[in-house]
Structure 1
Amino acid sequence: MTRGEHGISREDISPNALKVMYRLNGAGFEAYLVGGCVRDILMGHEPKDFDVATNATPEQIKGLFRNCRLIGRRFRLAHIVFGREVIEVATLRGHHSEEAEDETTPKAKATGKRDAHGQLVRDNVFGSIEEDAERRDFTFNAMYYSVADFTVKDFANGLEAIEKREVKLIGDPEVRYREDPVRMLRAVRFAVKLSMSLHPQTAAPIKPLANLLTNIPPARLFEETLKLFLSGKGEKTFMMLREYGLIAPLFPQIQPFLADDSCREMQFILKVLRNTDERINNAQRVTPAFLYAALLWYPLEERCQILQAESGLNAHDAFNIASGEVIGQQTKSIMIPKRFSTVMRDIWVLQQRLPKRFGRRAFQLLTHPKFRAAYDFLLVRGQIEGGELLELAQWWTHFQHAEGGKQKAMLNDLKRSEGSKGPRKRKRRPAKRAPDA
């Protein structure tokens, strides 16, 4: 497509991405803006980042840019750093060959390797722009913009997919999912993000192959779930993941709770996701810890009850053991960094402490660093479960915003209303007098 046909202007492109492409072109290499940024500009959206593809090898790229660092093992990438902005530059990929060849040109068929499931574990195979287009995942991501002649090369009818609003894989969907099972998650994410539907051939193999996600490193799936649920469309994304059987391999502990759309567990998760979407769309801060605490709350409650019934543990010990077990089990599927798992535990523990409001406890809880997160968590629980839980959440809503005198009055009213439920002070027994000599 010529400039008049696609309408992309250099004003739509990051100045740093333009600098990278101009320098690569000046050194005699091809350079193209590629992938989601081209798609987003054509759809009238503002790209989040800009990726460049070139026929220069990673080492050649590094030789041209002092602000370059090479990353990755599965496929070597160059990151060109401009302050907070990073332009990712990838060498054009080629098709795999059975035997690696010892060549240094971009055409080298080298270090491509698959595992027993057909998944690519090493992918440093360089090739031409045509081969690179065939290797890309979705049709609308195989469009290349050249700053040299201002054309867009559309190798897989990506513009047609945009017009039909369909997410369509390039090549045989089953083969492509086996190469990289994360493509199933990406298909769902793009469908929700771009308000598209999955092409029937793209959708058909997802349920049968969903279990392949268990072969993906947990650390990578953590990053992917952040993209899924912290995009501002987490609720719709969750429902689509569930529709295609992708919740079970990601969160095996919550799958048994999601049989019914109207059950409290499902409503709780959707409410938290809805609130998270609102915060993100209003440019408010969110933390993955809160989301993960919500997703795993009912498995935690169930495990705690089982430990108490089977082992005779008290509620406090059972809760602590269950917390560790639930987080430990989840990290087998999705790694949760300690900075988030620690906050999850704080939110959970405070659910046990928030009902205990007598004496100085209520004031001490207000000063806890994670009080606000725990209160928000309690509020959603109350809205879903109602009853005493909702009354407790409403009490904390009033208490935290009341003035000092009003807070003391609320505590006195609470003590009178609950009577014997409050903790009683033990009367000190009088000391025994020594017998008279």
Structure 2
Amino acid sequence: MAENSYATGIKSMWSLFKKKYPVIVPAKNHKMSRGRVEPEVLAILDRLRRNGYKAYLVGGCIRDILLDKKAKDFDIVSDARPNQIKRLFKRCFLIGRRFRLAHVYVSHDRFVEVATFRALVDPEEVQGPRYAANNVFGTIEEDVLRRDFTVNALYFDSGDSSLVDYTGGLADLSKKALRCIGNPAERFAEDPVRIIRAGRFCAQLGFSLPRRELKAVNDCAHLIKEANANRLLEEVYKILRSGASARTFTNLNDWGLLKHWIPELTDTRHQSSLRTRLDAVDRRRARGEDISTSVLLTALLWDFIIEAVGEEAEKTNYQDVFISLQEKMQDMVQRLRLPRKEWDRICNTAARQWTFSRVNAGRRARRSEGNFIRSPYFADALLFFEILSGLPGGNAGSLKYWKDRAREPRDSAGSSDAALSPDAPAAHGGTQETESRETTGAPRRKRRRRRRPPRKIHQDPAPGPS
């Protein structure tokens, strides 16, 4: 029987890498060392080795350290099976269906991800659930061939501090080339999300795609439509938090992928303003500033938000702008699979922008402003207004006014301006007072109940003498 293309591809990859690799680089010849790894991570590696298992650091942490960047996450790979890992660590939890992983907690809110070497198998030959082929365990030589890019396939052995390179990743690091492991057309076709990752890595690291990879990207870009929507949303979050979002979206647009993923971002009318806005966000992220997801997404979608509400936003209050956004942008929101709570926060952040530009005088206006400032959405809204104010044509004067107002002691006047409700009945009628209260979610003022006088007990008169 003739071998299928998948098996043929595996054999060709094996023959390619076995000729020259692995290359083992001793500790004295590279920058990676135990001293640049967090002690908690080293403790996990050491415990795995003491119990007879192989254990390596792998992936972006090694790449970043070799590029003199700060490593954000340390990932461990081992020949220990998930249940064996779980037995070794008291606070260990197994997660995932697509890839079965162990999360070993090193504090109450931080964990280190430990994965098992995975075999390179044909998914069609594996019986079982949808992701069964991802959880067939193998050797380190097979595991390396399942990774996406050569620069992400470097292994660090903490035992002797050596680096193990199976795919030429060290050479590609020096060339600043983002090269696929194996045939790039096949790798991008089997997982089109890798194209988005390539765009982000090139933007973050200043790398470029070799000619073969670039051709494969152009040929496979349309396959992004078939990717899982939740994975695509997670990639949006990663891009916006990367500190290189403007360059990433530019890469994806140049490669022809963006028109198949988020076609609105390819509109030439908005590309200049989008790039300027994302550049401002990236500068803040590069300084280590923490920016909420709702503010990041508002920065991405701002041009379409303005189009949706039109000139009415200048004349109406933010409650009405919120309702208008909820009605007019549903198609895009559903396509991006934005969670409802996240979309509500975006609408609340965006709807308040026009209020910042209107500064009113008088006691009643200041009381209304007090309620506005006490809103749980005020901080995000003010941060986004600050980002806009730093752009050409920004309103720096209003920004200073609202920052000063926010620093003032909070007075007790006025009710709290709480969360907007997407199902506010105010949109369907009612009095003006009820409309304002329902759309802002402000607590209903309790009516003072009037005490009723005690009920008189009527008794029959005592019978008199007859």
TM-score category by the smaller chain?
0.7 to 0.9
| 1:364 alignment partner AA | S
Q: Which residue of 1 aligns with 2:262?
A: 251
| 1:232 alignment partner AA | G
Rounded to whole Å, the distance in 2 between the matches of 1:81 and 1:198 is: 36
Q: Compared with structure 1, are the counterparts of its residues 298 and 133 closer, same or farther at alpha carbon in structure 2 (3 Å cutoff)?
A: same
Q: Which residue of 2 aligns with 1:298?
A: 303
Q: Compared with structure 1, are the counterparts of its residues 295 and 156 closer, same or farther at alpha carbon in structure 2 (3 Å cutoff)?
A: same
Q: Which residue of 1 aligns with 2:369?
A: 365
**8 Å contact kept, 2:390–2:396:** no
Rounded to whole Å, the distance in 2 between the matches of 1:230 and 1:65 is: 31
Kindly indicate whether residue 349 of structure 2 is the aligned counterpart of residue 347 of structure 1: yes
Q: TM-score, normalised by structure 1?
A: 0.75
Q: Which residue of 2 aligns with 1:58?
A: 82
Rounded to whole Å, the distance in 2 between the matches of 1:403 and 1:135 is: 55
**Counterparts of residues 226-305 of structure 1 (less than 5 Å):** 226-255=237-266, 257=267, 259=268, 263=269, 265-304=270-309
| 1:288 shift after superposition | 2.0
| 1:187 shift after superposition | 0.9
Rounded to whole Å, the distance in 2 between the matches of 1:21 and 1:355 is: 55
| 1:174 shift after superposition | 1.9
User: Cα deviation per residue 1:130-166 (whole Å; 9 max; x = unaligned)?
Assistant: 1111111110111212233433221100001001110
User: In structure 2, which of residues 115, 118, 127 is the aligned counterpart of residue 90 of structure 1?
Assistant: 115
Q: Which residue of 2 aligns with 1:414?
A: none
User: Cα deviation per residue 1:200-252 (whole Å; 9 max; x = unaligned)?
Assistant: 22222223322333333333223222221212222222222222233334433
Point out where structure 2 has 5 or more consecutive residues left out of the alignment: 1-24, 407-466
| 1:276 alignment partner AA | V
| 1:325 shift after superposition | 4.5
| 2:73 alignment partner AA | D
**Counterparts of residues 415-430 of structure 1 (less than 5 Å):** none
| 1:129 alignment partner AA | I
Q: Compared with structure 1, are the counterparts of its residues 320 and 297 closer, same or farther at alpha carbon in structure 2 (3 Å cutoff)?
A: same
Q: Compared with structure 1, are the counterparts of its residues 121 and 63 closer, same or farther at alpha carbon in structure 2 (3 Å cutoff)?
A: closer
Q: Compared with structure 1, are the counterparts of its residues 129 and 403 closer, same or farther at alpha carbon in structure 2 (3 Å cutoff)?
A: closer
**8 Å contact kept, 1:111–1:124:** no
> Which structure has the larger Rg?
2
| 1:373 shift after superposition | 4.3
What secondary structure sits across from 2:264 in the alignment? coil
**8 Å contact kept, 1:354–1:365:** no
| 1:347 shift after superposition | 2.5
What secondary structure sits across from 1:166 in the alignment? coil
Rounded to whole Å, the distance in 1 between the matches of 2:194 and 2:100 is: 19
Kindly indicate whether residue 193 of structure 2 is the aligned counterpart of residue 182 of structure 1: yes
Rounded to whole Å, the distance in 2 between the matches of 1:188 and 1:350 is: 33
Rounded to whole Å, the distance in 2 between the matches of 1:93 and 1:110 is: 16
Q: Compared with structure 1, are the counterparts of its residues 305 and 31 closer, same or farther at alpha carbon in structure 2 (3 Å cutoff)?
A: same
User: In structure 2, which of residues 25, 40, 47 is the aligned counterpart of residue 16 of structure 1?
Assistant: 40
Which segment is superposed worse, 186-195 or 355-364? 355-364
Rounded to whole Å, the distance in 1 between the matches of 2:224 and 2:348 is: 30
Q: Compared with structure 1, are the counterparts of its residues 233 and 31 closer, same or farther at alpha carbon in structure 2 (3 Å cutoff)?
A: same
What secondary structure sits across from 2:307 in the alignment? helix
Which segment is superposed worse, 371-380 or 75-84? 371-380
Q: Which residue of 2 aligns with 1:131?
A: 142
| 1:182 shift after superposition | 1.5
| 1:110 shift after superposition | 6.4
Q: Which residue of 1 aligns with 2:173?
A: 162
**8 Å contact kept, 1:192–1:237:** yes
User: In structure 2, which of residues 328, 331, 343 is the aligned counterpart of residue 329 of structure 1?
Assistant: 331
| 2:112 alignment partner AA | I
Q: Which residue of 1 aligns with 2:4?
A: none
Q: Which residue of 2 aligns with 1:38?
A: 62
Q: Which residue of 2 aligns with 1:426?
A: none
Kindly indicate whether residue 216 of structure 2 is the aligned counterpart of residue 205 of structure 1: yes
| 2:180 alignment partner AA | L
Q: Compared with structure 1, are the counterparts of its residues 380 and 55 closer, same or farther at alpha carbon in structure 2 (3 Å cutoff)?
A: closer
**8 Å contact kept, 1:188–1:237:** yes
Rounded to whole Å, the distance in 1 between the matches of 2:211 and 2:145 is: 20
**8 Å contact kept, 1:218–1:332:** no
Rounded to whole Å, the distance in 1 between the matches of 2:94 and 2:284 is: 35
Q: TM-score, normalised by structure 2?
A: 0.71
Point out where structure 1 has 5 or more consecutive residues left out of the alignment: 101-108, 114-119, 309-313, 405-437
**8 Å contact kept, 1:229–1:238:** no
Q: Compared with structure 1, are the counterparts of its residues 211 and 328 closer, same or farther at alpha carbon in structure 2 (3 Å cutoff)?
A: farther
**8 Å contact kept, 1:167–1:196:** yes
Rounded to whole Å, the distance in 1 between the matches of 2:299 and 2:348 is: 13
RMSD value over aligned CA atoms?
3.3
What secondary structure sits across from 1:170 in the alignment? coil
Q: Compared with structure 1, are the counterparts of its residues 339 and 131 closer, same or farther at alpha carbon in structure 2 (3 Å cutoff)?
A: same
**8 Å contact kept, 1:267–1:384:** no
User: Cα deviation per residue 1:14-43 (whole Å; 9 max; x = unaligned)?
Assistant: 222222222222222211111112222322
Kindly indicate whether residue 85 of structure 2 is the aligned counterpart of residue 80 of structure 1: no
Q: Compared with structure 1, are the counterparts of its residues 140 and 195 closer, same or farther at alpha carbon in structure 2 (3 Å cutoff)?
A: same
Q: Compared with structure 1, are the counterparts of its residues 307 and 179 closer, same or farther at alpha carbon in structure 2 (3 Å cutoff)?
A: farther
**8 Å contact kept, 1:71–1:78:** yes
**8 Å contact kept, 1:280–1:286:** yes
